[in-house]
Every structure is written in C-alpha cells, then in structure tokens.
A and B are shown apart, each in its own frame.
Chain A
C-alpha cells in the first residue's frame, strides 16, 4: 500500500485545550495565584471596572492584570495609571484567548508577586466563552445599554460565568432595561450565577464585587 498508514485519532480539539487549562489551573493552585477571566462585549466597561476594582481594593490584594486586545495598548496604559502591574497581550487578530496564550501571558506578567491575576479577555460574547483559559473563576459584564435580552441571545457565555456584573446602572432611567427580567433571563441559563449590579463610573455596588473577589482568593489560597 505504498507505505501509507491511516491513523484513527479521535482527538477532540476542545479536549486538548481543556487539558492544558486544567494543568495551568493546578499550577496556579500550587503557586497560590487566583486567575479570573473577565469577559464582555466591546465597551461594556471591563477596563473601567478593573480601574475601580484596583482603587477599591487599595492594596488589599496584590493584583496583576493582562489586557488582551487584538491591537493597541490603550487599556494597559489606563490600568498602569491606576498603579497596578499590567501587561498588554496582542492576540494577533484572534477573537479569544485559549489556555496556551493565557499561560504565555502569565509568564510575561510574572506571578511571583501576584495573588489576583485578571485577564481582560477580548471584547466578544461568543468566542471567549468557548475556551477554558485555565482561570479559577469566570466573570462577565453586561452593561445596561446592551439590553436585558442578551442572556437569551448569547446563552453560552451566561451559562459558563460564575458572576454576572450588570454595569452602567447609572443610565437605567434612559433605557427600557428591566433588572428583574434580566436576572430571570440569566437564571434560566445559569441558576447558580451571582448577579451584581454595579456602576463602574461612580463605584456604586463595587463593594459587593470586591468582597466576592477577596473571598474567592482566600478560598483558593487555602491548601
């Protein structure tokens, strides 16, 4: 047969990433580093929320931030202005980060002096949800102007997140966004999700968010 060989492989592409992610998570556990994957659509307020989070934690946790963007370093410079350790990851046109890219990002950031590492994922409600980055927990932001029907339209991301932050509550009077309806829509996809309404601009509701973060980091660092 001309030296040909047909190899039956049956290897899942997603399973490969999942394995790398699990390995990364175990290493982070050993190092006592809590990694959070923060997702949202473009402009929902990830960078603003992170700035407010750094401010509000006020040195209580050693934070390192990875800003993933297709291009540019605008967000990294913003975060740097708030005094946190930060690096910019360029995804080279890619719409999401996988476990391998996240590992490289963490290596570039350096985690020796970091307890809480946060990955600001690429602004997108579809692709980032499909890839386990190795993060310990996942959070997403839904901002009021996007509408309360988003959990119905993008079910996957809502079903994989541990926390859903509803941001820009300061503009609630100008939109037909119904908080109760939104919460119900999220619960049909993910009954366990913690829902935290916030205003990243003014800091309203941020304490509930930072309390959650502190508790999760402490729990993760327990042997």
Chain B
C-alpha cells in the first residue's frame, strides 16, 4: 500500500534527524498531510503501527494535521479551495489549475526527550 511505503521512508527520515540532533526518545511526531498530496490521512493512521513496529519509534505517538489544498485557476486567476470545489474553478469552470498549497506531506514537529 502507498501509505505504508511513505511511512517507512518517514521512519528513516526521522531516524536521521534524531541521530543528528543527539536525541534519545521521540514522544510524538506531528505530520502535515496536504489534501492534494494523494495521501489519505485515514490510511496513514491505519498503517502507522505497522510502519513503526520494532523500530525506535514503536512508542511514538502520531498527530496528523490536514492542510487544505489551495489552487489558482490558470484561466481567470481565482484562488480557491480545490476539494470544496471539486477541482473546478467556481468562476469560470476552468480545470487548468496551479497548486499553491497542500500537495506535500511534511514532518512538522518532533516532541522529544
């Protein structure tokens, strides 16, 4: 599954940060998931226990924050929420959209000891 692979690589990423910063334990991670990232937050939650199983993050809590997908219509310039408008410009019905925000998945915070 898509989300499991993403989480496994995320564990790697965090492991690197933890080593670099000389930390020992990660209590919680805060992750931002964009609505246009193609990643389903519900799946992330479901896969999380499997992805951290037998890693240094086994006891680390997960907090997910959803970031709205904001796009700009290339035809008329309107900026709007993509999901709420079904990926179509509410003014001119244009579908040629530029993503401004919400197409990424970001490790936002680590709460550590």
Closest CB of chain B to A18's CB: distance in Å?
11
Q: Name the residue of chain B whose CB is nearest to the CB of A2.
A: B113
A5 x B112 contact (CB < 8 A): yes
Q: How far is the CA of A60 from the CA of B26 in the complex (A)?
A: 53
| Residue A14 lies at the interface, judged by CB distance under 8 Å to chain B | yes
Name B2's contact: one of A16, A95, A156 (CB within 8 Å). Answer: A95
A16 x B27 contact (CB < 8 A): no
Q: How far is the CA of A4 from the CA of B38 in the complex (A)?
A: 33
| Residue A94 lies at the interface, judged by CB distance under 8 Å to chain B | yes
Q: Which residues of B contact A98 (CB under 8 A)?
A: 5, 9
Q: Mark A81-108, 1 if CB is under 8 A from B, else 0.
A: 0000000000001111010100000000
| Residue A179 lies at the interface, judged by CB distance under 8 Å to chain B | no
B109 x A7 contact (CB < 8 A): yes
Name B4's contact: one of A17, A93, A156 (CB within 8 Å). Answer: A93
Given A4-B27, A16-B9, answer yes or no on A9-B17 (Cβ-Cβ < 8 Å).
Answer: yes
Name B38's contact: one of A16, A93, A130 (CB within 8 Å). Answer: A130
Q: Which residues of B contact A215 (CB under 8 A)?
A: none
| Residue B62 lies at the interface, judged by CB distance under 8 Å to chain A | no
A13 x B105 contact (CB < 8 A): yes
Q: Name the residue of chain B whose CB is nearest to the CB of A100.
A: B9
Q: How far is the CA of A139 from the CA of B23 in the complex (A)?
A: 43
Q: Which residues of B contact A6 (CB under 8 A)?
A: 109-112
Name B105's contact: one of A3, A4, A9, A14 (CB within 8 Å). Answer: A14
Query: Considering the complex, which residues of chain B in the window 1-19 have a beta carbon less than 8 Å from any beta carbon of chain A?
Result: 1-2, 4-6, 9-10, 12-13, 17
Q: How far is the CA of A6 from the CA of B2 in the complex (A)?
A: 29
Q: Name the residue of chain B whose CB is nearest to the CB of A7.
A: B110
Q: Name the residue of chain B whose CB is nearest to the CB of A188.
A: B96
B6 x A3 contact (CB < 8 A): no
A residues touching B (Cβ–Cβ < 8 Å)?
3-14, 16-17, 93-96, 98, 100, 126-127, 130, 156
Given contacts A9-B108, A14-B104, A94-B4, 17 further A-B contacts (CB under 8 A): A4-B27, A4-B113, A6-B109, A7-B17, A7-B112, A8-B108, A11-B107, A12-B107, A13-B13, A13-B105, A13-B107, A94-B1, A95-B1, A98-B5, A100-B9, A127-B38, A130-B38
B residues touching A (Cβ–Cβ < 8 Å)?
1-2, 4-6, 9-10, 12-13, 17, 21, 23, 27, 37-38, 104-113
5 A-B pairs, CB-CB below 8 angstroms?
Answer: A4-B111, A9-B17, A9-B110, A12-B107, A95-B1
